[in-house]
Amino acid sequence: MHSKPGRPKKHETELRDEGWKQVRGGVAVRYARAVSGDESGGGDLLLLCRSDERREKESAMQELFCGRIEEALIKLRKRCEEAARPLSMEKVQRQVGRLLQRNQRAARCFIIRCEAVAGRPSGVRVEWSRDEAELAFKERSHGCYALRTNVHDWTEEEIWKTYIQLTQVENAFRAHKSELEIRPIWHHREDRAQAHIFICFPAYVLWKLLEKWQSRAGLGDSPRTVMEELGHIHSGDVVLPTMAGEKIKLRSIVTPEKAQKIILQRLGIELPRRMRIPDLLSKCSGDF
């Protein structure tokens, strides 16, 4: 017999639809009960937040893991029904345990029974059902998270906006390490450390400028996508020999594809047919 331990539903009352305040499109918040409060009313406060975008993502993941569990249980039940020899109840239960361990997000949504039965060669029967109460609670809690604060005189919107600033700082560090590829470098001299910080700062400023630029152009707010698409635009050098024995070098730009043309048009950028080359490089007698 596989038993599923129960657990108290945290903030089940607060997760109802009453009392939520919209702080932004698709994001609502509400205060929950105080944490570790005392008689004077002190202690921390919990702010429950609910995001529609996050809810859709978590619901999709929940359904994915539920599908995986049911698919594996169907195969296990079929094996128990068609086995010609006795199966070990202990091994079947361990298999169920491993299955739930691999799909922990949906493990509590199932009530699974492994029973010994007579009149069947395997001697084992596997049955299950979905826990509708657990599924209903998960549906209400999808997209929700809690913020804990010791500030009592702020509004719900002020607390949420302060938390969002933290995510913006994390995104800035992520952009430095990934998109800008400015990895941490250990310097032994103060002036070199300051120089490294100086390089990081204007690079991130340019990154944010590109983000605002494309946002105003209706291209979203992901500079990485724009840079990856425009990064496929290359230039090529055409070298022409002359009668005087010199060589003329012309640098031409390839014709952008349709998606690249749309981005350039939205950003108001017009590519030149040829790029200018410094005079010292436009004509030279050496080999290329």
For the stretch 134-167, pLDDT in tens is 888 888 888 888 888 888 888 888 888 888 877 7
If one counts the domains in the chain, the total is: 3
Domain that holds residue 135: 21-146
Cα distance between residue 123 and residue 115, in whole Å = 8
How confident is the model over 238-284, as pLDDT tens digits? 888 888 888 888 888 888 888 888 888 888 888 877 666 555 444 44
221 occurs within a structural domain = no
Q: What is the mean pLDDT of residues 208-216?
A: 84
Mean pLDDT of the chain: 80
Determine the average pLDDT of the residues in 53-63: 91
Which of 172, 187, 216 is the endpoint of a domain?
A: 216
Same domain, 181 and 264: no
Decide if 199 is inside a domain.
yes
pLDDT of residue 102: 92
Whether 64 and 102 have beta carbons less than 8 Å apart is answered as no
Taking alpha carbons only, the member of 152, 171, 165 closest to residue 47 is 152
Q: For residue 19, what are its two tokens?
A: 């009392």
Shared domain for 31 and 138, answered yes or no, is yes
210 plus 277 within the same structural domain? no
Whether the Cβ atoms of residue 48 and residue 14 lie closer than 8 Å to each other: yes
Does 112 lie in the same domain as 55?
yes
Tokens of 2: 């596989």
Q: Is 13 inside a domain boundary?
A: no
Q: Is there a domain that residue 179 lies in?
A: yes
H or E stretch at 261: helix 258-267
Same domain, 49 and 132: yes
Tell me if 12 is assigned to some domain: no
Considering the domain architecture, whether residues 69 and 171 belong to the same structural domain is answered as: no
Is 93 within a domain? yes
Q: Is 126 found in the same domain as 40?
A: yes
Contact partners, residue 1, CB within 8 Å, separation at least 6: 113, 114, 115
CB 235 within 8 A of CB 253: yes
Residues 71, 123 within the same domain: yes
Give domain status of residue 227, yes or no: no
Q: Find, among 219, 213, 222, the residue nearest to 260 by Cα.
A: 219
Q: Model confidence at 286, in pLDDT bands (50, 70, 90)?
A: very low
* Residues 205 and 255 grouped into a single domain: no
In a domain, 6, yes or no: no
- 37 plus 141 within the same structural domain: yes
**pLDDT band at residue 224, thresholds of 50, 70 and 90?**
confident
- Residue of 280 and 84 predicted with greater confidence: 84
Same domain, 38 and 88: yes
Last residue of a domain, one of 146, 166, 190: 146
